[in-house]
Amino acid sequence: MLLTHLRLLAYNPGVAPAGGGLPGLAVLRKVMASLNLYGIIAVVGALVVSALVWAWGHHSAGHQAEANGKKGVMVAIGCALLIGAANGLITFFSALGGQVK
């Protein structure tokens, strides 16, 4: 009898995200949106600095600076991609995780 109840609990604990469970959800959403904005601004700055290092390294024959500038540009582009796709990625993997049985 107890084993049956534990087995049912392991399969479906009955926990699901609730929209209005705790106070301050609207404030937390605003904070996350602000962090997202600051992240995009920081990525734009990193992209500009990396592009300048790339150009400076190219024109001064500094191969190490040129390589570091290229890496910085690629990292900035990857970060912008991840920041921009954050909501979609979280939604996708949350829905995917909800299908695990």
pLDDT for 57? 95
Query: How far, CA to CA in Å, does 33 sit from each of 25, 59, 69, 74, 87?
Result: 12, 39, 29, 24, 11
Alpha helices in the chain, H assignment, sequence order? 2-11, 25-59, 63-84, 86-98
In this predicted model, which residue has the larger pLDDT, 16 or 32? 32
Dist CA 83 CA 47 (whole Å): 14
- Going by pLDDT thresholds of 50, 70 and 90, the confidence category of residue 55 is very high
pLDDT of res. 67: 97
Instruction: Give kind and range of the element (H or E) at residue 17.
Output: none
For helices 63-84 and 25-59, give the axis angle rounded to 10 degrees.
160
